[in-house]
Amino acid sequence: MSEYTPDTAETLETIAQFVSETPPGELSQVLNDIRGLVNNDSLVSEAIAQPLSAHNTNTLAVVAVAGSDASFIVSKFNALEGNRFVDPNAKLSYAVDHLAQTASDPVPHESNNETEEHRAALNAAINTYTQDHYPNGHCAVFSHDNSRTLNIGIVSNKFNPNNFWCVCCVSTRKSN
């Protein structure tokens, strides 16, 4: 009986599927298992780049800003070109390392001046709500160029894999 060896395309597709379907709080364990199974770090790095970015933006991952205590939400609402994301409260954009879940290389980012006052007020109210109802919660209100639409993101994570208890509560809303 011959041993089945998947081709590179099939391996890439399988890795991408594993990453995209990873349960909350289990990403590092899944990536370690993938590395052990595939035993080819360059192939794994190639395979996880896009699905890892999608996973983080879909789950509103909170990334730490390198060299500070600051953190912010990564989402489709604050994504820019070149794997950069805007922290609307700091008015900076950062390059995000989706694997390490860190942000670096801050660059000033101009917000939509037409909606900034409303965005900041709504952000303050949502922040109060989040602190009152989600002990581990993070939130942000995102504005868009040439649009009066504001997008609200709230995320709260509680991970305890030793007790098989990993929860990720994600909420997004739109305000016009």
3-class SS of residue 70:
coil
pLDDT one-digit tens code per residue, 106-128: 999 988 778 899 999 999 999 99
Question: What does residue 78 show for φ and ψ, rounded to 5 degrees?
Answer: -120, 20
**Does CATH place domain 113-175 in 3.90.1150.210?**
yes
Domain residue extents for the chain: 8-108, 113-175
pLDDT at 91: 94
Place of tokens 């597709």: 13
3-class SS of residue 158:
strand
pLDDT one-digit tens code per residue, 126-166: 999 999 999 889 999 999 877 889 999 999 988 777 777 77
C-alpha to C-alpha distance for 94 and 83, rounded to whole angstroms = 8
Q: What pTM was estimated for this model as a whole?
A: 0.86
Which class is domain 8-108? alpha beta
Q: Check if the beta carbon of residue 10 is closer than 8 Å to that of residue 4.
A: no
